[in-house]
Amino acid sequence: MSGKRPLEPKVARPADLTRHVSTICQGRPHASLLLGSRNFSPELEEYTMYVYYVHMDQQTLTMPAVINLIVLLLLAVTMGLSLAHALEFPGKLRLDEPTYRAVQAIYYPGFTIGGLIGEFGGMLALVALLVAGPSAERFWWIAAALGLLIVGHATYWIVTHPVNAAWLKDTALSGPSAVFFALFSSPDADWRHMRNVWEYSHVARSGLHMLAFVCFALAVMH
């Protein structure tokens, strides 16, 4: 919508004026086209235009709102992937070793790509929001969300990732994938111990990611 939003006029507000203007605004791109057909006093016309601009501001999807929506989506992807692992854990405890090892290989490459986009994308987006200089209240909620994501990401590299190489040892990997899963890989060990390390690390990460999502949702609400 073009045009400068008028300042709020200092006039008495009739009880039914806001409702009347809301009716005018519905589906009307320019309230000014309608004002000429009504016998408004200058004061009422000024207030009518003010209410119209406020109404249109509330209906417009601004750039900050779009950015917040993108960040929420990235955090939702991150939370959803780790939560999926956590919810699978009780059922996977019933699997024997051959079945468990076979199941572990199915997470590549889908969860790997999703985690790369959601987790890395979420951290970068939160850093960008902090650099942009939000209000003090929003700053601390965003910082908390970023801190929780960083702790969750560190948990992956220190606890989760070293076990991944053992699960994928029978999966043909090449190029960047082979290099990625070879990083910090641990030798094969008792499969129950590796299972518990891998599963409980994802339970911890799911909790951290849920808290990060809630923190950023609170930042958006403020």
Of the candidates 73, 25, 80, which has an alpha carbon nearest to the alpha carbon of residue 53?
Answer: 25
Whole-angstrom Cα distance, residue 164 to residue 185? 7
- Percentage of the chain beyond pLDDT 90 is 41
pLDDT at 11 over 50: no
Give the least confident one: 27-41, 111-125, 148-162. Answer: 27-41
Whole-angstrom Cα distance, residue 115 to residue 119? 5
E strands in 78-133: none
Q: For residues 219 and 145, is the Cβ–Cβ distance under 8 A?
A: yes
Of the candidates 82, 109, 120, 94, which has an alpha carbon nearest to the alpha carbon of residue 202?
Answer: 82
| pLDDT per residue as tens digits for the range 155-192 | 998 898 888 877 777 676 666 676 676 676 777 778 89
| pLDDT per residue as tens digits for the range 46-69 | 666 666 555 555 555 566 788 889
Whole-angstrom Cα distance, residue 51 to residue 24? 10
Give me 115's structure tokens: 């985690």
The whole-model pTM stands at: 0.69
pLDDT at 217 over 90: yes
| pLDDT per residue as tens digits for the range 86-106 | 999 999 999 999 999 888 888
